[in-house]
Structure 1
């Protein structure tokens, strides 16, 4: 049976804080993305500029901190695999929006905590805990309440694509901690994932003939903020969290991402606070509290 990740002490606390911080910062994506879309920049271009800028920022940080860019052949294979499943998740999710409402697609994508939990139990023999299943159900239910739209029509193709995006992200969370990447410097892992991602998204934008220039300095500022806050910081936090508290818990904490996005929309973008927002709050926050309390007690008992 897989051992319980260390939940107490400085390392455990850092893992929890990184997991929560990643979800919170990810939730600011609409805040920086919507002005770019309003300026006429499409999704393919936004993704390319976001990941390319993130890779440049990470390269500068690595240079300043003296982190080597050198990787072995085996490490490069692992990094390319992580890049394809991580960036593939984003591409599949965006593609699913073509076939169904974004709220429905987002809900299906946030099945990834369920998929992560099942993979960890079936293939890595992680302990089965009723509280984990309860927290997963509440978190996914909260995302559904936040995202679902009345009268939404489901497309089989769209459902399959959205679920593939969830599977890809679940595999990313697991393999970060179950591959050569586990022993690699976090900066190096995220840099190569971002660099490969920028090439993937550039190829996708060129394929669609959809690569656009950044229109002005204001838009460039939003791209930089999106790259640093919602890409560099969040991905470093995800890697740090997975290494310290495990894939399952990190995936459940990720349910805070859409909740943060909705709260940011209400507070900063003037969007209405609806019953669905209240319902999402009532499900997701207790789910996170359940995980924190039960795993904390188990760690102390161990």
Structure 2
């Protein structure tokens, strides 16, 4: 099951890695981030509802889980808004790189609050992945502390989202049911915010509409795969595998958008791959009982 969790989280990250490419197309058509988020969550919610009805899945959750779902939905929306706000102060590449330091926050929350214990190999993997993300940063344009702080805060809120998903038992809920309930909460919040900001004056052409539909599809794949993958490997390991997302975005930007490729980014890719390979390596049989992979 561990290998299945690794695969699902990796595919989730790759799905999310294509999001910036299509988001850029939609934003060029005049749609802001609140409206984009609204339609992404709306599409995910409608798809989840359709799967629930089609497969006749039981639509029920324990009442005690509902506060955790509300909190998780809140942190997911706040993450999106904080990351978008950071773009106003620092380059998007730097903001995204700082956001992807969230595996460090996930590990620290699990270690300090939940008292999880990690093997030396897992800590080394975290250090390599964090160093890889640092290599993506263009320090020549890192001169606004407000933007840096907002981007880092978006990483912290996303880390909290992942830990709640794992530790509050949300990953054990049917993924379609969880996604539908979460999306209802998120779309209501973004609808209120968007109406107040005048975000829904839409004038998309065919390319923009197609990109928006693809964005919703990527959100479906990324969110559902992450929820199921976290069930198998826990939030700590899932956070590291989510680093396939910036790698995918980097490759897409280079191949499709013709973005320049820095040597620092290449080194960052190698470090992240090295860190992921470390946790893919199975522990020795004699040590299997000593090493606990996040889940207790």
1:189–1:298: structure 2 CA closer, same or farther, 3 Å change rule? farther
1:105 CA drift (Å): 2.2
**Cα pair 1:146 1:259 within 8 Å, conserved:** no
Count of residue pairs brought into register by the alignment: 288
Question: Residue 190 of structure 2 corresponds to which residue in structure 1?
Answer: 201
Question: Residue 4 of structure 1 corresponds to which residue in structure 2?
Answer: none
User: What TM-score do the two structures reach when normalised by structure 1?
Assistant: 0.88
1:134 CA drift (Å): 2.1
1:99 CA drift (Å): 2.7
1:40 CA drift (Å): 2.3
Matches within 5 A, 1:132-211: 132-155=122-145, 157-211=146-200
Question: Residue 55 of structure 1 corresponds to which residue in structure 2?
Answer: 45
Question: Residue 19 of structure 2 corresponds to which residue in structure 1?
Answer: 29
1:232 CA drift (Å): 1.0
1:88 CA drift (Å): 1.4
Q: What secondary structure is seen at the aligned counterpart in 2 of 1:236?
A: helix
Distance (whole Å) between structure 1 residues aligned to residue 270 and residue 173 of structure 2: 38
**Cα pair 2:101 2:133 within 8 Å, conserved:** no
**Cα pair 1:45 1:212 within 8 Å, conserved:** no
1:240-294 Cα shifts (integer Å, max 9, x gaps)? 111101111110111121111010111222223331331222211111111211x
Distance (whole Å) between structure 2 residues aligned to residue 298 and residue 245 of structure 1: 18
Structure 1 residue runs without a partner (length 5+): 1-10
1:147 CA drift (Å): 3.6
1:158 CA drift (Å): 2.9
1:301 CA drift (Å): 4.1
The correspondence for 1:217, drawn from 206, 209, 229, is 206
Distance (whole Å) between structure 2 residues aligned to residue 45 and residue 300 of structure 1: 53
Question: Residue 292 of structure 2 corresponds to which residue in structure 1?
Answer: none
**Cα pair 2:44 2:179 within 8 Å, conserved:** no
Matches within 5 A, 1:87-102: 87-102=77-92
2:269 corresponds to 1:284:
no
2:19 corresponds to 1:19:
no
**Cα pair 1:140 1:255 within 8 Å, conserved:** no
1:182 CA drift (Å): 3.7
User: What TM-score do the two structures reach when normalised by structure 2?
Assistant: 0.90
Distance (whole Å) between structure 1 residues aligned to residue 137 and residue 189 of structure 2: 28
2:229 corresponds to 1:241:
yes
Structure 2 residue runs without a partner (length 5+): 289-296
Q: What secondary structure is seen at the aligned counterpart in 1 of 2:113?
A: helix
Distance (whole Å) between structure 2 residues aligned to residue 204 and residue 59 of structure 1: 24
**Cα pair 2:30 2:203 within 8 Å, conserved:** no
